């Protein structure tokens, strides 16, 4: 699917979509960081709402990482973009998992002191219940 590991770290939306519906393993450790950007989030949300997507857990975890990284950065313009994005995807959210991520993300934006890497970092306890 990817020519090499370097290309896996700069995936196109089409490559992400193909992988989402494949039997392929994660192309690289911490790949959540490679797929997370503002442009990809609506697509990632659509995967979570699609029962046919084989990688829903991976993508849900990536959403928590995305929110956590932005809030922890304390960059106001990025937080404003995240807030706007949450409002946009909330309108079409179907699953409880996605609605819960939106709710928790809005809460974290309002209360950034509640940030805890165990819940907003890789292998989020919100997703993996560890």
Q: What is the pLDDT of residue 4?
A: 54
Would you list the domain boundaries of the chain? 5-22+31-128
- Which of 5, 75, 8, 1 is closest to 38 using CA atoms? 75
Q: How many whole angstroms separate alpha carbon 47 and alpha carbon 44?
A: 5
Q: How many whole angstroms separate alpha carbon 45 and alpha carbon 104?
A: 15
pTM of the complete model: 0.91
Q: How far, rounded to the nearest angstrom, does the alpha carbon of residue 120 sit from its chain's CA centroid? A: 10
Beta-carbon count within 10 A of 113 CB = 6
Q: What is the pLDDT of residue 66?
A: 97
Q: What is the pLDDT of residue 26?
A: 87
Q: What is the pLDDT of residue 3?
A: 55
Question: pLDDT 10s per residue in the chain (130 long)?
Answer: 555 555 677 888 999 999 999 999 888 888 898 899 999 999 999 999 999 998 999 999 999 999 999 999 999 999 999 999 999 999 999 999 999 999 999 999 999 999 999 999 999 999 998 5
Q: What is the pLDDT of residue 9?
A: 77
């Amino acid at each position: 699917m990817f020519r090499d590991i370097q290309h896996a770290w700069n995936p196109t939306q089409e490559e992400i979509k193909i992988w989402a519906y494949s039997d392929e393993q994660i192309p690289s450790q911490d790949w959540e960081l490679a797929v997370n950007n503002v442009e990809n989030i609506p697509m990632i949300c659509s995967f979570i709402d699609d029962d046919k997507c084989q990688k829903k857990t991976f993508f849900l975890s990536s959403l928590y990482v995305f929110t956590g990284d932005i809030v922890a950065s304390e960059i106001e313009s990025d937080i404003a973009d995240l807030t706007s994005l949450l409002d946009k995807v909330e309108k079409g959210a179907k699953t409880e998992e996605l609605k819960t991520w939106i709710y928790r993300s809005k809460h974290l934006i309002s209360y950034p002191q509640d940030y805890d890497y165990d819940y907003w970092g890789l292998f989020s306890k919100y997703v993996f219940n560890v």
